Amino acid sequence: MTASRSQIIQQAVSPRSVQQQDAAAKLIPQQASAPKVTPQLQQQQQPAITAVSMRGVTQPVVVPPNITPCIPIINTNTALISNAAAATQDCVHNPENSQKEERKSLQRVRQRTITVQSQVSLDITAAYNEVKQMNSDDPATELVRRVQAIVATREKEWTAKNEKLTQLLTYEQKRNEPLEQKAAERLLAMAEYEKLVQEFVEELKKKNSDGGPKSVGRPGPERNLSPDDVTQLIKERDQLAEEVNSLETSYSELFRRYEKLRQTSVEIKRNEESVKNSSEEMARRYSVLAEKFEMLRRNAEEQLDLANNEIDRLIKQHEADTLGLRLKVKHQESKINSLTVSLEARQKELESMTAIFEEVITKAEANDAAVDA
């Protein structure tokens, strides 16, 4: 019974797992010194996906870039333990494969990206159509006023969203710090515990091979461990491994939430840039329209000045022509009056001459009658 348990312990703790423990012990201080995940680092690195065996079930766990899953999780199932150790050993010795996996995950994430039309551009287009249909004296000013109102409203909304996201990110980071610290402490404890168990197993192997009393331990007072104690130690080690597993799962969940918030922030910044570009385009178009309007206004003023000058010239010419005609009319009227007066005088003279002729004729007829008698 004792030999079988020692063989199980020997299979569970292999030289490969010892190397992985040393590598994990080297990586743990780095993780403890940098528990925060900054947005710049997040943009450069993506979470890798690994498989961790827990209680005989392989579960995918998303591990952040700052924590490399190189600590083997040892369970009573020796086949799963060896597979996990081989996977972690490949992760330690083949960093290029992990980088390729990260690139593939990046490509998969980018393929799932969906481009949607900005609401701001739709609002600006609607405002432009409304102003176009309006009968306004200055449509360009009205359009600029509406666009500025839309941009100001969107900027307020984006500022509020950014502040809310910043507060949420700060809260998540503060909430994440103790978990990261606790996970680092547990990883350190696990590394020390694995090292201690390895020493115990080596001492047991030596004692079993020598046939002497089964005393194991570090330099100091001699300690005797029974197979039950070794089994209890293995159970405690498995319990610690499960706790570390749960901590990594919690950290992965927090990291996923952080990634989601970061993507939302990036989308908001992208929308803000598109709105700024739209605003700049509208400002450029407004300047072009303003220049055209100014040119048309100057041309219209010139045409109006020419028309006014022509109208003044025609009015003056008409007045001059009318004055000449009036003078001619007055001259003709005076001539007609003089002719009328002379005609009346001639008529009076003719009447007097007619009367004289009649009187002479009458006298002549009377004389002729007297002569005949």
d(CA 223, CA 214): 9
- Please state whether beta strands 57-63 and 215-216 pair in parallel, antiparallel, or not at all (unpaired): unpaired
Per-residue pLDDT of the chain (373 residues; tens, 9 = 90+): 344 444 444 444 444 444 444 444 444 444 434 334 343 334 433 433 333 333 333 333 333 334 333 333 333 344 444 444 444 444 444 445 555 555 555 555 444 444 455 677 777 788 778 877 777 777 778 778 888 888 888 888 888 888 888 888 888 888 888 878 877 887 888 888 788 888 877 777 777 666 544 444 444 444 556 778 788 888 888 888 888 888 888 888 888 888 888 888 888 888 989 888 988 999 999 999 999 999 999 999 999 999 999 999 999 999 988 998 999 999 999 999 999 999 999 999 999 999 998 888 988 888 888 887 6
Specify burial of residue 292 (Cβ count, 10 A radius: 0-12, 13-18, 19+): exposed
Q: How high is the pLDDT of residue 59?
A: 38
d(CA 238, CA 245): 10
Q: How high is the pLDDT of residue 196?
A: 80
Would you state the structure tokens that stand for residue 104, as one six-digit string? 């593939």
Q: How high is the pLDDT of residue 99?
A: 56
Would you state the structure tokens that stand for residue 228, as one six-digit string? 């039950």
State whether residue 224 is helix, strand or coil.
strand
Q: How high is the pLDDT of residue 222?
A: 45
Q: How high is the pLDDT of residue 104?
A: 55
